[in-house]
Structure 1
Amino acid sequence: MVKILIVDDEAAAGNILKILIEKHIATATEIKYCAAAKDALELLQTFNPTLVMLDIEMPALNGFDFLNMATENNFDVIFTTAYDQYAIKAIRFSALDYLLKPIDILELHNAVNRHIIKQQNQNQKLLVSNLLNNLQQKDPKDFKLALSTMEGVSFFEPAEIMYCEAENNYTRFVFTKQKPMLVSKTLGEYEELLAEHGFIRIHKSYLANAKYVSKVDREGILLMSDGKQLPVSKRKKEMVMHTLKQH
């Protein structure tokens, strides 16, 4: 069952989204719309949504204010927003979803399907709490990364990650102080997310944290501080060497 609450101060945008969901999302069993975060908070007392589709920029109370005040509720969140790089990075670091306006129907389908999967194995309160903590940081480099598996969700500072390895459509994270973790997202998604944190795509299958690189030999093998040897692709070798010198 997917019960959806739409919160958007722009009535046209909110109503269009409601119509799109009613027309194209067969799994949505009940949909309600509020034009103000304050009204949405009151509605939560009687309507228990599994999913809130939340605009960020709103007067009086914005989307993040709404989440701060709705801590007793355990719902998933999909943000609907115009482009805001800082907010979107915080959202992605927290393993939460967003849709850029105007809403694309295929992206809407995919986001709701991801919500249905997440309903089965995650505590959304933890993800929202991590987002709110990330937003309090002055520098995105201090964000904590949410990694979700079938066992639950864990949070890590990028500095705790030594390297990442692609396994088909999954990514294996290797840490400095704990056992590896397999996450159901591609390496490409994390390449973009971790680029500002000293991670280098050295090979189609590897993303390495420059902080833990000991050396690169003449054969193009990168030696990590734990003794692991990672291959560097020929076409990336010059870039990798240049980037490592900067670190």
Structure 2
Amino acid sequence: MNPSYRVIVLDDEPPARELMEVFVNRLPDLRCVASCANAMQGLQAIQELKPDLLLLDIQMPEMTGLELMRLPLEHRPEVILTTAYADYAVASYEFSVLDYLLKPIAFDRFVSSIVKFRQKRPVQPPTQPGWRAVDSRPTDEPKSGQPPYESDANAIWLREDKRLLQIPYQDILYIEGLRDYVKVFLSDQMILTHMGIGQAESLFQPPLFLRIHRSFIVRRSAIRLIDGNTIVLTNGKQLTIGPLYRETLKNYIAALP
């Protein structure tokens, strides 16, 4: 899959900047187009590269992240704030930022913010069906270690051992992450394919699929009911809603017509 979202990391601390780059690179639909150490570098990169998302530190010398956001920028990406200081949370609300990440930032918490970002800026499905490899190369042969393929808006190609299987999205009930693999559960079988849950989340996106737990993604129309912190699927399977995903799921359900 070709990277869909352009990301700029802006932080004056090298370790924090490098961690955000690692997090971005773990998700196949994100691409770090610039990593900047100060606000002036960030301003130039924003105007030249026109990112979709800015991961912005607040406390920086010369110009803070909040001061940067007050500038009349020609291009305004979505913003996720990253800071070691909880005191700025209230001040950040005036800028309608997507999320406020308090350092040290865990990967699960970062992914939760990206889920919000994807929901606000959903990727348009391709207008013409065809093969699109996860590693973005125009070839019918998958790169080693990159098994899944997306075919069109209605189905996805998944590799299981030496087989390539075309699976309609509507046949999928839920996905369970197991380290470097995921189990894709259909009504009549389970497919084990080599990819992490973060990569699966980039392939199985809202509004058709919802991440409900660090280990689970469900097809929205396969949900029969929500009972407290438990989701019951149409086949009777019960899954727990993880604490990091409860608010996002609640907001998404509330926004449905």
Q: TM-score of the superposition, structure 1-length normalised?
A: 0.46
Work out which of the two has the higher radius of gyration on C-alpha atoms and give 1 or 2: 1
Q: TM-score of the superposition, structure 2-length normalised?
A: 0.44
Q: Which has the higher helix share?
A: 1
